[in-house]
Amino acid sequence: MKTNIGLAEQDRKDVVNILNTVLSDEYVLYTKTRNYHWNVTGPQFNDLHAFFETQYTQLNGVIDEVAERARALDGSAFGTLTEFGQHTRLGEPPNSSPSAREMAANLLQDHETLIRHLRVDLDTCAVAITTQVPVIFSPASWNGTKRWRGCSGLCCTVNN
């Protein structure tokens, strides 16, 4: 049975594509955050280790939500590292061992980048969809702003 929620077929497919791109971005951010959780060192190890764990736990929920929304629109959710790597809009430098300060700054930059992309994605969806946009892009997708506002002071005080 075909999904009929009042979206033209191409609009539905376009939204699924956007959701899969967001899913790729969130998964790369999750992986980077988890990596930093494992590899952070320095005088603020305990604080950052716990902070990064909170971050990747929240991101895990966002990832699941985005994937389920792509499926709810009768699409397929990406599920391989290859797909995530090919479709993400975030960078991931290989073989880097940043300082604790650089880790926090890198993640803050990624959250800001993702928020800028989400704003464009939201505008793109709004062209074809009016009532579905709030459902597809829930406030959970925008938590990066809140998550990182609390970090701004930490980023300035993190020692190498």
Instruction: Output the pTM of the full model.
Output: 0.78
Predicted confidence (pLDDT) per residue in 106-124, tens digit: 999 999 999 999 999 888 8
Q: What is the mean pLDDT of residues 25-34?
A: 96
Confidence of residue 65 (pLDDT cuts 50, 70, 90): very high
Between residues 159 and 97, which one has the greater pLDDT? Answer: 97
Question: CA-CA distances (angstroms) from residue 155 to 29, 43, 47, 105?
Answer: 17, 13, 12, 6
Domains and their CATH numbers in the chain: 9-157 (1.20.1260.10)
What pLDDT band is residue 130 in, cutting at 50, 70 and 90?
low
- Confidence class for position 129, pLDDT limits 50, 70, 90: low
d(CA 61, CA 70): 15
CB atoms inside a 10 Å sphere around CB 86: 10
Q: What is the pLDDT of residues 95-104, one digit of tens each?
A: 778 999 999 9
In the chain, the amino acid numbered 4 is: N
Reply yes or no on whether the pLDDT at 132 is more than 50: no
Predicted confidence (pLDDT) at residue 88 exceeds the cutoff of 50: yes
- Backbone φ and ψ for 98, nearest 5 degrees, come out as -70, 155
